[in-house]
Structure 1
Amino acid sequence: MLATSSSIKPRPPPPPQYPSSTTQNAINSFLPISRRSLLATLTVSAAAATPFAHNFLSLMSAQEAAFARGLFQMPPVRLTNRYFLVRAGESEYESIGVINTNPVAKTSVDNGLSEKGKKQAVRSAFDLKEMGACDKNCWIWPSITQRAYQAAEIIAAVNGVSRSYIVPEYSFLDARGLGAYEGKNLDAVSEVYASDTLSPAIKPPPIDDGTPNESVSDVFVRVTQLMSILETQYSEDTVIIVSPDSDNLTVLQAGIIGLDLRRHRELSFAPGEVRFVDTNSVPTYKQPASATGLYRACKRFVSHLVKSINSCAIALEVLSSILPSPILLTLTEVLP
C-alpha cells in the first residue's frame, strides 16, 4: 500500500546540538589572537620557561620588531640604515636669483644644475667618496627634480655606483612649495623662514598657478613618509638622499634628532653640502636670526599675506588661528 503525503507523519526536529567543552575548546583554539596577547602570555610564563620556550619568545620578539619597523616615528628609536643627506647644487633658477618651486616644472631643463651647481655636485660626490659612503655599495634616492637627479648621476659616476642603484623619488622629495613667493627674488624667502620660527603650521600665502604653499609641518609629513619607506625596504644598507632644496633636509634632520621644527632653519644646507645622519650627536647649530631681524621679517610676511588675500579681516582671522596672542598683538600694527 502506497502512503500518501497526508498519511505520513513528519519527523520531529532533531534536538539542538550543544558543543561539548572539548569541542568548544577546539573551536576556540583556532580563533585569531593578536601578537601582543601572545607575547604577554609568553612573558608571564617566562620564569618557568624551558630553553625551547625561551628561544621561541626571542624569535617572536624579533618578528614583532620587524613588524614595528614599518611604523616609523620621529625621532626614531634607532635607524636600521646609514643615511647621508645631500643638497643638490645650484639650479639655473637659483643662479639668477629666482624662486622656483612649482612641481610642474621640476623636470624642466631650466630646473637643472647651473655650471656652478655642477661643480658643487662633483664636490659633494667626492665628499661622499672621502666619507666612505659607498665603500660597501649604496642606494641613491634623489628627487625626480632635474637638478637633484643630475646630482645623483654625478654621485653615482664618481663613486662607481651602477645606475640601477639610483631610485628616483617622485613626490616626497619635491622642493618645498612656497606659494605666492613663486617667481620672486630669492631674498624674499627670509620672510617664510621668519614665519617658520613662529609656528611650523604657518603656510606661505597661496597662489593659483599650481604651486603648493607648504608649511614646515607639511614637509615633515612628507619626509617622515619617505623614511618609513626606506626603513621598511632596506636593512643595514647605506642610503644617500638627494634633495633639490634645503628645507626637506633640515626638517628631516630636525625630526631625526628631536629638534623643535621651528628651528629647522638653523640646520640649513648650502648647495652641494653633504651631511652624515648621526642620531647620537647633535650638530652645532648656526646662530639664529636676531630678534630685530626676525621681527622685521615677520612684519613683511604679514603685509604680504594681507596683500595676497586682499582682506585685512581674513588675514587677522588666519593669523589668530596660528599665532599666540602676544605675537599677534605685536604684528597687528602692520595691518591697515
Structure 2
Amino acid sequence: SLFKIVPMFSNMNSRSLIQASRASIICSIILISLVNSSRCLLIHRKPYVHRRQTAFSHILRRHASESDGTHEDNNEGLSEPLEDSRRSFVKNGFITLTTAAFTGGSLFVSEAGARGLVRFPCKDQPLLNTYHFMRAGSSLLEVEDVWSTNPLFLTNREAALSEKGEDEVRRACNLLKNMGVTPTIVRYSLAASSIDTANIVGEEFNIGRDRLVPEFNYMDPRAIGGWDFSPKNATEEAVWAMDFDEAGPSGRGGRPPPNEDGTPSEALADQVVRLTNLMSVLETLYSGDEIILVFPDGTGPALLSCLIGGIPLYRVHELNFQSGEIRQNVDYNSVNAIATDLPSPYYSEILQRGRQELMQLRENPDEERNVKDLKFEEERAVAEAQRKERQELEEREARQNEFERRQKLEEERRIKEDQRKERQIQAQEREIERKRMRENEDNSTSDISGGAVGGGILLLAVSSVLANSKQSAVIDTDDNRDENGTLSNATIPETNSADIDEVEVSLSDVAKADTDSVELDQPITMEQNETAKVFELA
C-alpha cells in the first residue's frame, strides 16, 4: 500500500497534501476506535455465552430441585456482562465522533463533494484545482471577419479551426511545455473550433480521450441577438463600448437587440450564470487536477477571470483573450495582477470607435448587417448581373444570327434573281438567235431554190448541148457508114471543148455561190446538205 500511496502524494500540491494528511489522521482514529470496540465485544462474548449456558443449566437444575422439593438460588450476575459490552461500544463510538468533530474533517464525504456552488470572488475560499484558461484558435468564420454566436450553429464545420488557428494552438502548447505545465483534464466547448483545439492539446500532451471532456452549454459564448453574423471587428468594438458604458459592476445592463432566427440576446449576467455552474461542477468532480478550459471566444475566459478576481464586470474586455491565447494558474492574485487601475490607451481607442459604431447600429436598426445575408445578396446581385449579361449576349447572338440569316436569304434571293435575269437574257438571246436562224433559213432556202433553178437550167443546157452533139455525131456516122454498115474513115465530129469548159465553170460558180450562202454560224441543215449533194452531183 505504501508503494501505491507514495507516488500519489508526490503528484499533489501542498494544499492537497494537507487535506490528505488530515483525512489519514481521521481514518486512523476511526480505525483505532473500531478495533477497540471490537476488542471489547470479543473480550466479553465468551464469558457471557458461558454464563448464559450456566444460567440455562441452573434453570434446569432449579426445575429439577423443585420437582424434588429442594431450592437453589444462584443468579451469579447474568445481566452484568451484557450491560458492560453495550456501555463500552457506546462509549468508544462517542469518543470517535467527538474526535472527528473536533478535527473539523468529514468522515466519508470529500471536501470537493461538499462545496456546492462556488462563491465569487475566490479570495477567502481558494479553488481546489489549478486552472489554465485558453481561447480556441482562429476559426474559418473569424478569418472571414464573421461573428457567429448562435448556439445552434456552433458545431457547424464552417466555424472549424483554420490553418492559422492550428498554428496558434500549437504555439500555446509549446509555451505550456516550456513552463513545465502538465494538464490532466481538458474541458472544452462543443463549438467546432474548440473541439479541434482540444484535440490538438490532447495530442501535444498525450492526454487520453477519457480526460478530454466536452461541455455542452456552460462554455457557450455570449449570444448577441440581432447583431449575430455581422462583421466581427466593427461589431465587437461596439459591444465592448456598450458593456463598458451600460453593463455595470454586475453585468446586468447592456443587452444587444433581439433576433428573429432564434439567436439569444444576452447580457454579461446571463453568461455569469453558466460560468458559475461550470466552476461548481468542476470543483465538485475534481480535486488537485490541472484543468485546461478551452473557450470558443475571448469574452468567456475574461469574464470568468473577472469573477474569480472580483473585477467589476464592465471591465471584462480589458482582460479579453486573443485567438489561441492561454493563461496559466488563473486565481485571485493572478487576475488582479493583470488588471490595471486605468484602461490602456489602445483599449480607450477601441472604446471610442465602438461608441461611434454603436451609435450607427442603433440609429439604423433595420440596416442589413448579417454577413451571410449580405453575401447572399451580393451573390444574388452577381448572379442577376451574370444572368442579364448572358441574356444580353444571347440577344446579341440572336440578333446577329437573325441578321446573318436575313443577309444569307437576301444573298440567296439576289443570286436567284441574277440567275433568273441571266436565264431571261439567255432566253431572249435564244429567241433572237432563233429569229435570226429562221431568217437565215428563209434566206438560205431562197438561195437554194434559186441555185437549184439555175442549176436546172444549166443541166438542161448541158443536156441539150450534149444531145445536139450526140445527134450530129449520129448523123455524121450515118453519113459515113458504107453499104455494109461499117464506119468509114470519116472523122467523128468532136465535142466543143470550149463549150464543155464553159458549162463546168458555170456549174462550179453556182455551187460556190450556194456554198457561200449556206456557210453560217449555225450548223448546216438537212435541206442545205441535200442541196450541196445535188450540186455535187451536178
**TM-score using structure 1 length:** 0.71
Residue of structure 2 equivalent to 1:168: 214
SS at structure 2 position matched to 1:283: helix
Residue of structure 2 equivalent to 1:85: 133
Q: 1:89/1:229 Cα in 2 relative to 1: closer, same or farther (>3 Å)?
A: same
Distance 1:150 1:160 in 2: 15
Is contact 1:181-1:189 (8 Å) kept? no
SS at structure 2 position matched to 1:308: coil
Residue of structure 2 equivalent to 1:3: none
Q: Give the letter for the 1:138 counterpart.
A: T
Distance 1:127 1:290 in 2: 26
Q: 1:280/1:68 Cα in 2 relative to 1: closer, same or farther (>3 Å)?
A: farther
1:112 aligned to 2:160? yes
How far did 1:149 drift?
A: 0.9
Q: Give the letter for the 1:304 counterpart.
A: L
Residue of structure 2 equivalent to 1:250: 302
1:297 aligned to 2:354? yes
Is contact 1:152-1:242 (8 Å) kept? yes
Distance 1:157 1:291 in 2: 39
SS at structure 1 position matched to 2:318: helix
Distance 1:66 1:168 in 2: 21
Correspondence list, 1:1-336, <5 A: 53-60=98-105, 68-76=114-122, 77-134=125-182, 138-187=184-233, 188-198=235-245, 199=247, 200-201=251-252, 202-276=254-328, 277-281=330-334, 282-285=336-339, 287=344, 294=351, 297-305=354-362, 307-308=364-365
Distance 2:134 2:142 in 1: 17
Distance 2:162 2:286 in 1: 33
Distance 2:222 2:308 in 1: 19
Is contact 1:124-1:155 (8 Å) kept? no
Is contact 2:156-2:192 (8 Å) kept? yes
Is contact 2:240-2:351 (8 Å) kept? no
Q: Deviations over 1:58-117 (max 9, x none)?
A: 245686955651121111221000000000000000001111111111111111111101
Q: Deviations over 1:285-321 (max 9, x none)?
A: 46166767635633542542354389xxxxxxxxxxx
Q: Give the letter for the 2:296 counterpart.
A: P
Q: Which moved more, 1:123-132 or 1:225-234?
A: 123-132
Distance 1:283 1:268 in 2: 15
Is contact 2:238-2:355 (8 Å) kept? yes
Larger radius of gyration: 2
Is contact 2:136-2:296 (8 Å) kept? yes
How far did 1:166 drift?
A: 0.4
Q: Deviations over 1:207-252 (max 9, x none)?
A: 1112122211111111111001000111111111000100100000
Distance 2:231 2:317 in 1: 19
Q: Give the letter for the 2:362 counterpart.
A: L
Which has more helix, going by share of residues? 2
Distance 1:142 1:115 in 2: 19
Q: Give the letter for the 1:117 counterpart.
A: G
Distance 1:119 1:64 in 2: 41
Is contact 2:114-2:284 (8 Å) kept? no
Q: 1:67/1:96 Cα in 2 relative to 1: closer, same or farther (>3 Å)?
A: closer
How far did 1:153 drift?
A: 0.5
Is contact 1:141-1:166 (8 Å) kept? yes
Distance 1:309 1:69 in 2: 48
Q: Deviations over 1:31-79 (max 9, x none)?
A: xxxxxxxxxxxxxxxxxx9897354322456869556511211112210
Q: 1:290/1:144 Cα in 2 relative to 1: closer, same or farther (>3 Å)?
A: closer
Distance 1:92 1:98 in 2: 9
Q: Give the letter for the 1:190 counterpart.
A: E
Is contact 2:117-2:276 (8 Å) kept? no
Distance 2:213 2:152 in 1: 20
Distance 2:351 2:168 in 1: 30
Q: Which moved more, 1:181-190 or 1:228-237?
A: 181-190
Cα RMSD (Å)? 2.6
Is contact 2:112-2:285 (8 Å) kept? no
Q: Determine what percentage of the aligned residue pairs are the same residue.
A: 33
Structure 2 gaps, min length 5? 1-93, 368-538
Distance 1:222 1:153 in 2: 24
Structure 1 gaps, min length 5? 1-48, 311-336
